[in-house]
């Protein structure tokens, strides 16, 4: 804990150094945010996710329960609101945008533009994909990064100038940052695998995962959704290879590696044990 306090103090000193127009309170908050980004508890993450979801719902038009989009979504996920200990909640934003996102508390939002593009099976894959980002703790990492970014913004805001005014106005963008978060290729692969597994576990057509990504790939390279995601065509080919038995999921690949590693050390240990017995006999 002493080390964390030192980090916070160091952050404040950096903000304060050489500048007469520094807002001491804001600079101090920036240092605390920098530390908290590294030490967020599960309770902190859930609280941030709840507030971010509330902000997002307020900024968008959420489909009412009697709309055909909400009814269609309810028909798709009626039996899949719980996965392990986490309860998922779903909603639709009335917008032509092709997008979907998840929050760490299990909030999942689809855009009506995406629903217009995909059939029911393909939408179930997307839902499973977003659930995967939550279950694999990808969203938690993004919250930590968002908190770190807010620390940087507050550090700038502590300077009483135009840049500081701009940074203060940007501080409310935490939820937007989570909604438009870019995931690594590995994270997207893990979420794709989870989405494919979601279809298989619920005895749904797994080929829908491939067709969903194939349709999304046709949006074109200039589309915002594709600019923030790895190539959907390559992702579709990867899942097709799994369905054909030519490839395995990220998790299976990791498990296979650990098994081979264990077998290697066990074989080496046995050989060394035999040699030791020969020397001692």
Domain ranges of the chain: 2-243
The pLDDT of residue 76 is 93
Minimal CA–CA distance to 73: which of 63, 83, 82? 63
* Chain Cα centroid distance, residue 207: 24
* Chain Cα centroid distance, residue 80: 19
Q: Is 130 a catalytic residue?
A: yes
- E strand or H helix that includes residue 92: strand 89-93
Distances (CA, A) of 161 to 6, 21, 164: 27, 8, 5
The pLDDT of residue 149 is 57
Set 29, 130, 188, 190: catalytic member: 130
Residues 221-279 have pLDDT tens digits of 666 665 556 789 999 999 999 999 998 888 777 777 777 767 766 676 766 666 766 76
Predicted model pTM = 0.72
């Amino acid at each position: 804990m002493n080390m964390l306090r030192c980090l916070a103090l160091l952050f404040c000193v950096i903000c304060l150094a050489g500048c007469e127009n520094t807002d001491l309170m804001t600079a101090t908050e920036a240092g605390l945010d920098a530390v908290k980004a590294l030490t967020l508890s599960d309770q902190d993450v859930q609280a941030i996710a709840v507030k971010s979801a509330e902000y997002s719902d307020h900024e968008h038009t959420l489909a009412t329960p009697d709309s055909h989009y909400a009814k269609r979504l309810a028909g798709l996920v009626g039996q899949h609101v719980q996965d392990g200990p986490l309860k998922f909640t779903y909603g639709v934003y009335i917008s032509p945008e092709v997008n979907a996102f998840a929050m760490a508390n299990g909030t999942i939002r689809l855009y009506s533009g995406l629903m217009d593009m995909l059939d029911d099976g393909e939408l179930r894959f997307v839902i499973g994909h977003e659930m995967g980002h939550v279950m694999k703790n990808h969203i938690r990492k993004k919250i930590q990064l968002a908190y770190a970014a807010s620390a940087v913004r507050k550090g700038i805001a502590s300077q009483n100038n135009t840049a500081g005014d701009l940074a203060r106005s940007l501080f409310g963008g935490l939820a937007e940052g989570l909604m438009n978060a870019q995931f690594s290729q590995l994270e997207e692969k893990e979420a794709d695998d989870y989405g494919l597994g979601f279809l298989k576990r619920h005895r749904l057509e797994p080929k829908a995962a491939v067709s969903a990504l194939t349709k999304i790939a046709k949006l074109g390279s200039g589309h915002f959704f594709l600019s923030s995601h790895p190539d959907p065509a390559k992702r579709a080919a990867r899942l097709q290879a799994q369905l054909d038995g030519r490839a395995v999921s990220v998790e299976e690949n990791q498990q296979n590696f650990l098994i081979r590693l264990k077998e290697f050390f066990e074989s080496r240990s046995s050989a060394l044990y035999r040699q030791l017995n020969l020397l001692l006999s």
